[in-house]
Chain A
Amino acid sequence: MNGMGVLKGLAVTFRHFIDTYLEDFKAGKKRYFTEEGIRQRASIEAKGIFSIQYPEEKLPVPEEFRYIPFLVYDEGENGERALRCTSCGICAKVCPPQCIWIVRTNDPVTGKPVPAPAEFYIDVDICMNCGYCAEYCPFDAIKMDHNYEIASYDRFKEHIFDLNKLSKPASYYAKIRPANFARETAEREAKAAKKAAP
C-alpha cells in the first residue's frame, strides 16, 4: 500500500475545485444570475459548480414538464370566458388517485345534462401529477401547468382548487406549451375543415 491511489483520487477532487474557479473566471459576471449563465451551467458542457441558486435563479422547464392541471378557456371578443370543458368525466375517471371531482350542469327546465361543468375541483394534495387527465381529455380542455410554486400556509383552505382557481386562458397555454398548442390547433382546424367540406 503506497497511497498512490488516494493521491490520484485527490487529484480528481482538486481538478473539480480548480475547474470551478476557471469556469468562473472564464465566464465572468454572466455566469450567475443571467439566463445565459443558467443555461450554460445546465448544459452538457457544464464544468465546475453545477448548482442553481434557487429561488434567485430558476431552471427553465421543458415544454412537457407537468405540474397540477388547469382548465383552459378561450377568450371571447369582450373578454368573456368559454371553458372548453364539456364535463364528459373522462379525466375524473382516468385519474389514478381519483382527485378530480366534477358536478355536471343540468338544464333547469328539461333536467337534461348540459355540456359544461357546474363545479370542478382538484384536490392538489392528492394529485400525483401523472398527466393522464391532460393526455386523455378529448377536448384539449385540461392541461398540465408549469407553475410549481404553489406552497401555501393553510392546506385546508387552499389546497382544493375550484373552477375559478383552475381556469386559465388559452393564451397562457399557448405560452407555456407552444408546440403542443400549435399542433392541437392545427388538428382541430383540419377536423373542422373536413366537417365543413361536403
Chain B
Amino acid sequence: MTDHESTLTTRHGDLLPDWVVADSRPGYEGVIVPVSRLIEFAFLLRDKLGYDLLSSVTGVDYLPDGKMEVVYHALQTIGGAPFVFKVQVPREDPIVPSVVPVWPGADFQEREAWDLLGIRFEGHPDLRRILMWEGFEGHPLRKDWKEPYYEEDAKPYKSRWPEGHVRRAEDVAPLHDNVQYPPGFDPESWTPDGDEALYRGLRKYLEDSGSELKTDRLIVNLGPQHPSTHGVFRMVVVLDGETIVDLKPVFGYLHRNHEKIGERCTWIQNMPFTDRLDYISSMSNNFGYALAVEKLMGIKPPERAEYIRVMMAELTRIVSHLVAVGFLLNDLGAFFTPVLYALEERELILDIFEAVSGSRMMCNYFRFGGVARDLPEGVLERVRDLVENRLPRKIDEIDRYLTKNEIVRTRCEGVGVLTAERAIALSATGPVLRASGVPYDLRRADPYSIYDRFEFDVAVRYHGDIYDRYLIRLDEIRQSIRILKQVLRDIPEGPVISGKPQWQVRVPTGESYGRVEGPKGELGFYVVSNGKPNPWRYHVRAPSFINLHTLAEMARGGKVADVVVILGSIDIVLGEVDR
C-alpha cells in the first residue's frame, strides 16, 4: 500500500461504502468498485465528496488474468490529488456502465476505450469508433491484437543485432498488404456505417426547425481538409441559416496508435515519442512522462535538474501560448501578420531549446531522474536577456497591438461562451477551464516538481468567451516570465541527473499517473509496469483531445463563421488529439 492510498482511505475512509475495496496489488492505488454499483459510486464521489471533474478514463487489458480493467481518475477543482477507482470485467465481451450521465466529459474517452480496447459502455449516448476508421476490424490496444507489420511483442527486436541484415519495412509489408480488412470487405463498394450513424444522430434536427419562418436545415462538413482546422480535422455542423444548431467533431486522421507504440517500446524509448504528441510543447510532454515513470521508480532529480525542468516547461508554455494567440488572429482573418510577430519570439526560444537539447521541436531532453545534459555555456545569459527584456516588451506590444482592437473585440467578446459548470462537467482543463472562471492550475492545485517554491498567480478570467481565452494566455505568459525570473535567480550548480545515465531502467511493478499543467491543460501519463523492460500499459491523457468536448457546447447558437475562431481559442494540436 502506498502512502498516497493510505492517506486517501483515511481521508475518505468512513465516507466510502463498504462494498468498495482498496486495490491491494503491490504498487497500485485507489479502490475497486463492483461494476453493478459503478454509477451509484460515481454519483457519491461527485456529489458527496466533491470530485467534480473526471480527469481520465482508460482501460487496461490484463490478458494473463483474463480481465479488462477500466481506470478512472477523478479530481476536485478545489485542488488535491486525484482519486483513482477501477472496475474489473471479464476480458471477453466486457460491458461497463457509462459514466457520461455523471460526468459528460467521459464521452470521448469512453469512445476511445471502446475503439481501442473493445470495452462496451452501456448507456453511452453515441458509442462509435473515434480514432480508428469505421469498419476497422478489431481493437488494436488489446494485447493479442497484432499489426500487419508485426515483428515482436517488445523492442529491442532480435533481428537488429548481432545478425542485423537490413531490410525495409516496405519489403516486409508491401503496399496493399499492410492493411487488414474484415472478411468480405471490399474497399471499392464500402460506405462507412459510422458516417451514417453520425448523420442519423444529427438528422433529428433537420425535421423541425421550430421557427415560424420556414427554413431548411443543412448538414455541412467543415474539413477534414480545411485551412482553419490546424490540421486534418472535421466538423459536421447542422445549420439553420447561419446559426449552428449542433456540431460533431470527427478526428483520428492523424492516428498512429501512439499507445501501442509505447507498449512495444522500452521505458526510455518512449521519451522521444512523447515529443510528437503536442509538437509545439515537447518539453512539457517529456516532463509528464518523466514524472510518471520516476514516481514508479521512486527516484527524484537533483536540484539543478528540477530548476532546468521548470525553466524549460515555462519557456514551452510561452511558446505554445504565443502560437495560440497568433493563430487565433489568423482564424479571425488577420492573415499571418500577428502570427509572424508572435513567431519571432518563438524562434528565439527555440534557439535556446536547440542549444540545450539539440533540436528545436523534438527536444527529447528529459531523462528519468534528471535531464539529458547540463545547459551549455551562454544559455542562461540568453534566457536572462529574453526574460528580463525582450519578452515582457513583446507581450506589451502584442497587448497594444490586439487587445483593444475593435474588430477583435466584436468578434470575440461574448462569443463561444462556456460556463464554469459546463467547463467542469465536460472535463475541460488548462486555459479553457480557467478562462471560464475556475482557478484550477495543477502547479498550484497539486504541485509537482518544485512549483511550490515559486511565487506566481493562477491566471483566471470569468466570461468564458473567446476574448477571455485570448487574454488568459497573455496573463499566463506574464506569470511564466515571473516564474522564470525566480528560476534564474535561484538555480543552483550541481549534477543534472541522479545516478549514472542508463539505457535500460528497471521499473518496479505497479501503476502511476504523472500529470503536469501543460500549456493546453492537464497532460497525464498513466503507466502500468509489470517489472519488464517495457510498459504493460501506457496511456496519455491528452488535454487537446479532452478539451474538444467543449467545442459543440461553445458553438451551439453561434454563427458558422465563429466556429473557426472558437476552435482556435481551444487551441488544439492534432498530433495530440489523434495520437
Contact = CB atoms under 8 A, between A and B. Distances in A.
Interface string A107-136: 000000100000101010010111110011
A68 to B, nearest CB: 12
Interface in B341-374: 341, 344, 347-348, 351, 354-359, 362, 364, 372-373
A94 B155 CA distance: 9
Contact of B409 (A5, A13, A95): A5
A38 B31 CA distance: 60
Contact of A9 (B160, B348, B401): B401
Interface string B134-170: 0000000000000000000001110111111110110
A132 B166 CA distance: 20
A192 interface: no
Nearest to A126: B169
A156 B358 CA distance: 28
A2 B445 CA distance: 42
B95 to A, nearest CB: 36
- Quick one: which of A1, A6, A61, A101 has the most chain B CB within 10 A? A101
9 contacts: A62-B358, A64-B373, A65-B358, A94-B503, A103-B164, A119-B165, A123-B168, A130-B362, A131-B358
A46 B125 CA distance: 54
A62 B376 contact: yes
B354 A160 contact: no
Interface stretch (B2-10, B232-240, B266-274, B426-434): B266-274
Interface residues of B, number: 59
A104 interface: yes
A92 B156 contact: yes
A62 B503 contact: no
A64 B273 CA distance: 20
A94 B386 contact: no
A9 B397 contact: no
B351 A42 contact: yes
Contacts of B166: 101, 119, 121, 123, 160
A179 B376 CA distance: 10
Contacts, number: 147
A87 B344 CA distance: 44
A13 to B, nearest CB: 6
Given A13-B401, A101-B161, A132-B268, 18 more contacts: A2-B406, A3-B406, A4-B404, A5-B406, A6-B405, A44-B390, A62-B358, A93-B160, A94-B503, A95-B160, A101-B164, A102-B162, A103-B162, A103-B165, A123-B166, A131-B372, A135-B372, A136-B501
Nearest to A16: B341
Contact of B357 (A5, A6, A13, A64): A64
B218 interface: no
The A contact surface, by secondary structure, is: mixed
Q: Bin chain A's interface residue count.
A: 35 or more
A189 interface: no
Nearest to A113: B162
Interface in B367-417: 372-373, 376-377, 382, 385-386, 389-390, 397, 400-410
Contacts of B385: 44
Q: Is the interface of B mostly helix, strand, loop or mixed?
A: helix
B265 interface: yes
B178 interface: no
A61 B357 CA distance: 12
A61 B165 contact: no
A64 B162 contact: no
Contact of A12 (B269, B351, B401): B401
Interface in A24-65: 42, 44, 46, 50, 61-65
Nearest to B344: A50
B341 A135 contact: no
B191 interface: no
A9 to B, nearest CB: 5
B180 interface: no
A128 B273 CA distance: 9
Interface in A1-22: 1-6, 8-9, 12-13, 16
B130 to A, nearest CB: 26
Contact of B157 (A16, A98, A135): A98
B530 interface: no
Nearest to B155: A98
A169 interface: no
B24 interface: no
Contact of B358 (A66, A94, A95, A128): A66
B43 to A, nearest CB: 43
A90 interface: yes
Q: Which one of A1, A9, A50 has the greatest number of beta carbons of chain B within 10 Å? A: A9
Nearest to A66: B358
A9 B386 CA distance: 23
Contacts of A131: 358, 364, 372
Contacts of A94: 156, 266, 268-269, 503-504
Given A98-B155, A126-B169, A135-B372, A93 B161 contact: yes
Given A96-B272, A131-B358, A101 B165 contact: yes
Contacts of A129: 359, 362
Contacts of B400: 8-9, 12
Interface in B150-202: 155-157, 159-166, 168-169
Contacts of A103: 162-165
Contacts of B372: 131, 135
Nearest to B156: A93
